[in-house]
Structure 1
Amino acid sequence: MGTGQWTVGVTGATGYAGGEVCRLLAGHPNLRLGGVHANSSAGRRLGELQPHLTPYADLEVRPSGAEDLAGYDVVVLALPHGESAAIAAQLPDDTLVIDCGADHRLNDPAAWARWYGGEHAGSWPYGLPELPGQREKLADARRIAVPGCYPTSVTLAMTPALAAGVVEPEIVVVAASGTSGAGKKAVPHLLGSEVMGSVSAYGVGGVHRHTPEMIQNLSQAAGRPVGVSFTPTLVPMSRGILATCSAKLAPGTDATAARAAYENAYADEPFVQLLPEGQWPTTAQVLGANTVALQIAVDPDAGRLVVVAVVDNLTKGTAGGALQCANLALGLPETTGLPLVGVAP
Structure 2
Amino acid sequence: MTYSVAVAGCTGYAGGELLRLLLQHPDVTIGALTGNSSVGDRLGVHQPHLAPLAERIVAPTTAEELAGHDVVFLALPHGTSAAIAEQLGDDVLIVDAGADFRLSSAQEWEKFYGSPHAGTWPYGMPELPGAREALAGSRRVAVPGCYPTATTLALLPAVAAGLIDASQISIVAASGTSGAGKSLKPHLLGAETMGNMSPYGVGGMHRHTPEIVQNLSSATDAEVKVSFTPLLAPMPRGILATCSAPVADGVTTESARLAYAEQYSDEPFVDLLPAGEWPQTAAVAGSNRVTVQVVVDETAGRLIAISAIDNLTKGTAGGAVQSMNIALGLPETAGLSTVGAAP
Is TM > 0.5 for Structure 1 vs Structure 2? yes
Q: Which residue of 1 aligns with 2:237?
A: 239
Inter-partner Cα distance in structure 2 for 1:222 and 1:342: 33
Inter-partner Cα distance in structure 2 for 1:223 and 1:96: 32
* Alpha-carbon distance, 1:89 to partner: 0.9
Inter-partner Cα distance in structure 2 for 1:98 and 1:39: 19
Q: Which residue of 1 aligns with 2:221?
A: 223
Paired residues of 1:163 and 1:223 also in contact (CA < 8 A): no
Q: CA RMSD in A?
A: 0.7
Q: Which runs of 4+ in 1 moved over 6 A?
A: none
Aligned residue among 268, 273, 276 for 1:275? 273
Q: Which residue of 2 aligns with 1:108?
A: 105
Inter-partner Cα distance in structure 2 for 1:151 and 1:80: 18
* Alpha-carbon distance, 1:139 to partner: 0.5
5+ residue gaps, structure 2: none
Inter-partner Cα distance in structure 2 for 1:196 and 1:152: 26
For residues 154-206 of structure 1, the C-alpha deviation after alignment (integer angstroms, 9 at most, x for no partner) is 00000101000111112100000000000000111000010001111111111
5+ residue gaps, structure 1: none
Aligned positions of 1:1-80 closer than 5 A: 4-80=1-77
Corresponding position: 1:84 with 2:60: no
Inter-partner Cα distance in structure 2 for 1:206 and 1:252: 31
Q: Which amino acid aligns with 1:22?
A: L
Q: Which residue of 2 aligns with 1:178?
A: 176
* Alpha-carbon distance, 1:318 to partner: 0.2
State the percentage of identical aligned residues. Answer: 61
Aligned residue among 264, 284, 303 for 2:301? 303
Aligned positions of 1:98-177 closer than 5 A: 98-169=95-166, 170-177=168-175
Paired residues of 2:32 and 2:65 also in contact (CA < 8 A): no
Q: Which has the higher mean CA deviation after the structures are superposed, 236-245 or 29-38?
A: 29-38
Aligned positions of 1:324-335 closer than 5 A: 324-335=322-333
Q: Which residue of 2 aligns with 1:251?
A: 249
Inter-partner Cα distance in structure 2 for 1:229 and 1:221: 18
Which secondary structure state, in structure 2, belongs to the residue aligned with residue 310 of structure 1?
Answer: strand
For residues 76-121 of structure 1, the C-alpha deviation after alignment (integer angstroms, 9 at most, x for no partner) is 0001110001101111001000000000000000001100011111
Inter-partner Cα distance in structure 1 for 2:135 and 2:158: 24
Q: Which residue of 1 aligns with 2:188?
A: 190
* Alpha-carbon distance, 1:256 to partner: 2.1
Inter-partner Cα distance in structure 1 for 2:300 and 2:220: 22
Paired residues of 1:35 and 1:59 also in contact (CA < 8 A): no
Q: Which amino acid aligns with 1:297?
A: V
Q: Which amino acid aligns with 1:311?
A: I
Inter-partner Cα distance in structure 1 for 2:122 and 2:115: 21
Paired residues of 2:176 and 2:239 also in contact (CA < 8 A): yes
Which secondary structure state, in structure 1, belongs to the residue aligned with residue 296 of structure 2?
Answer: strand
Inter-partner Cα distance in structure 2 for 1:182 and 1:36: 22
Which secondary structure state, in structure 2, belongs to the residue aligned with residue 94 of structure 1?
Answer: coil
For residues 262-308 of structure 1, the C-alpha deviation after alignment (integer angstroms, 9 at most, x for no partner) is 00000110100100000011100000000110111110011111011
Which secondary structure state, in structure 1, belongs to the residue aligned with residue 211 of structure 2?
Answer: helix
Q: Which has the higher mean CA deviation after the structures are superposed, 57-66 or 208-217?
A: 57-66
Q: Which residue of 2 aligns with 1:287?
A: 285
Aligned residue among 257, 262, 265 for 2:263? 265
Matched residue count: 342
Inter-partner Cα distance in structure 1 for 2:224 and 2:64: 42
Q: Which has the higher mean CA deviation after the structures are superposed, 326-335 or 221-230?
A: 221-230
Q: Which amino acid aligns with 1:245?
A: C
Q: Which residue of 2 aligns with 1:321?
A: 319
* Alpha-carbon distance, 1:58 to partner: 1.1
* Alpha-carbon distance, 1:224 to partner: 2.8
Paired residues of 1:273 and 1:294 also in contact (CA < 8 A): yes
Inter-partner Cα distance in structure 2 for 1:303 and 1:101: 37
Inter-partner Cα distance in structure 1 for 2:60 and 2:140: 21
Inter-partner Cα distance in structure 2 for 1:102 and 1:47: 27
